[in-house]
Structure 1
């Protein structure tokens, strides 16, 4: 029987999601998590591949806005829920889903598609480049001290129910989005994901807790959400603090929140994942070795409308360079493009040209450097970018570089 691809109907969602669970190993989502995914799914942006009545392939997208260098929030398709049933792999199902989805993104007028990858090796062939990284820490708080900045002692901390604290926490988060490329402006409903706390997903830890940092005027300047996992040995307590997220508007609030988490009674380890690779915590700790940093990939970026994407972001230096871009999967991006930025802070122009190429690269490399966290020079050293005019690589690398490391704070 021929396979059929079609846009998801609302009454097909359960069968579609059951397939997705099977594609990811067959572990059922918690009822709370399942309902959250149902509420966030955009059926009109969701695709299913069907073999008769059986769903054998899926892909969806969320309508996001992602921060780019310069602070603009650019519409982007947040690619998600991609899976193929084990019985139907190696039959072109994934390629057909990616083909249809990127065509739809282009028609929708979104310049970017972004995703987090369960298997990063898959998506490079579809033009996605790894644009952000995150660092996980496991800090031995018996060995590591915090060197806090002036003003930390003036921050008031208050424990609040995580759901009741949501409005204040979301206001803090919203103020931070434009400051760091890669962050997502949360759409209505996404605030629920931050406090979703099904007991079966806690791994033996406590219910989710929330502490807020307040200024002298009572305004909330930051928050941390965390769980405590009690553990005991013959020597005594070996408890751990598992940090879900921490966001703050100033150094004093940042330090006060970390100091609180480091000092919770009967705990000796603070674990946190998905922190920026330039996170202040790395400079607050007295010993980074006993903080055990581990780096992994975060957001993968795909330029769907190349000139619109390159014109949407700001650049750190003036540049005038002709790019020879390879893009077999979205051929409308392929060819020579002149990227011109007259001065630092000036609006970029990206137009087709027949002038000689000065840098040669694929759209995957452009995706990797797009948010300013990966250097063109590093990719050139790996043989993934070729300099065709002496000096072009340095000029372009300076322009694309960002002031802060891009970061995706949560998955989707």
Structure 2
């Protein structure tokens, strides 16, 4: 695709997402041949998505992407200026970003919130113990985003941690193909996009680009179909759950191998009260006072959190705190991707009792899973 067409396609996708580019420019005198002052020296893009956290509606979340600082301008506080401005302008209780090196963003209050497994499947050995339920169909990728959104919204438990839209960019993904699963009533309950990467000296590889499913049966059937295409010996996916039930649904567990475990996206909590109130809970009914400390002061406060039948009310209070933690630690624990007792052992939570309370409060029946790379 010509460069002009690629830029046009990117601009169209950004417009559809509502993505805004924030940039800093340098108008200093420069030698002939250097990049002009119309080229930014630092950038950061933001757009909004919904984070599924088990509540009645998704939590609005500001996504941060396209973070760059030119090598010639490192160490001048440019990224701090952009991050502070983005946090100030955000009208959401949470921010999220994907980072190859999450530790670089700790100083801005971000903490890794979920873990993802990279998996590799041997097609010849992948066989379900029982016949797959429902029916798998091939679909056009232009429908993938729409179908995946409908699937995602139908399962509050399995979509925990998902950022919508789950399949952004599928329409313009050259060479991508799409599989759709329907249940016995004909309702779409699974969508998977994939691409054939071609032949390598050791394997013929299919890559899973994105997957959204409302039932484990749909998930299993989509993978069984993908393994049966006959064009590949290996399937790779980079956004799987560590504890995937499909591993126990196949005859040979060794057919599915975890090749790496990585951090998924990182979260920053801007408004703890609103975030906690919109989250769902699987713990018994409870009431406690949570105190959050934030170095910037923006997310600091003390609130009475009362959980009744999986839903919470959160109100400011002057009562003594039952649990104390930092805003970054809350970000790490928010989706139960990290256990509070691990943070206590690492010295990030002072009180072991606080850790036990937080683990009981924030647990969820399944691991959080992203589904969106941005």
Matching residue within 59, 70, 78 for 1:93 = 78
* Range moving further from structure 2, 129-138 or 263-272: 263-272
Matches for 1:3-22 after TM superposition, within 5 Å: none
Contact 2:55/2:311 (<8 A) preserved:
no
User: Which residue does 1:56 correspond to in 2?
Assistant: 41
* 1:37 shift after superposition: 4.4
1:269 to 217, 234, 255: 234
The count of residues paired between Structure 1 and Structure 2 equals 360
1:299–1:407 CA contact under 8 A, matched in 2: no
Q: Structure 1 residue aligned with 2:140, among 154, 161, 179? A: 161
Q: Does 1:46 align with 2:31?
A: no
Corresponding residue of 1:380: 344
Pick one of 261, 274, 277 that aligns with 1:311.
Answer: 277
Superposed displacement of residue 372, structure 1: 2.7
Q: 1:345 to 1:220 in 2, by over 3 A?
A: closer
1:73 to 36, 52, 58: 58
What is the deviation of 1:222?
2.1
Deviation at 1:95, TM superposition (A): 0.9
**8 A Cα contact 2:121 2:235, kept in partner:** yes
1:211-230 map, 5 Å: 211-230=179-198
Report the RMSD for the aligned CA atoms in angstroms: 2.9
Aligned to 1:405: 367
Query: Match of 2:266?
Result: 300
Normalized against structure 2, the TM-score is what?
0.85
Is it true that 1:283 corresponds to 2:248 in the alignment? yes
The whole-number CA distance in structure 2 between the counterparts of 1:164 and 1:40 is 15
Q: Distance in 2 between matches of 1:313 and 1:321?
A: 16
SS of residue in 2 equivalent to 1:146: coil
The range that moved more, 94-103 or 66-75, is 66-75
Asked if 1:173 corresponds to 2:140, the answer is no
Alpha-carbon separation, structure 1, partners of 2:275 and 2:168: 30
Residue 32 of structure 2 is matched in structure 1 by none
Moved more, 134-143 or 363-372: 134-143
Cα distance in 2 between the residues matched to 1:322 and 1:112:
21
Rate the CA distance shift 1:41–1:118 in 2: closer, same or farther, 3 A: farther
The answer as to whether partners of 2:167 and 2:210 remain within 8 angstroms in 1 is no
Unaligned runs of 5+ in 2: 28-36
1:289-311 deviation line (CA, Å, top 9, x unaligned):
55221211112111111222222
Counterpart position of 2:96: 114
In structure 2, C-alpha distance between the alignment counterparts of 1:323 and 1:71, rounded to whole Å = 22
Q: Answer yes or no: is the 8 Å Cα contact 1:68–1:371 preserved in 2.
A: yes
Q: 1:97 to 1:135 in 2, by over 3 A?
A: same
Q: What is the DSSP-based 3-state SS (H/G/I as helix, E as strand, rest coil) of the residue aligned with 2:103?
A: coil
Instruction: State the partner residue of 1:9.
Output: none
Change (3 A) 1:31 1:112: same
**What TM-score, normalized by structure 1, do the two folds share?**
0.78
Deviations 1:85-124 (A, max 9, x none): 111110111111111111111xx3x211111113211111
**Deviation (angstroms), 1:29:** 10
1: CA distance between counterparts of 2:22 and 2:218? 43
Give the CA deviation at 1:369. Answer: 0.9
Unaligned runs of 5+ in 1: 1-26, 199-206
Seen in structure 2, the aligned counterparts of structure 1 residues 166 and 59 have a Cα distance that, compared at 3 Å, is closer
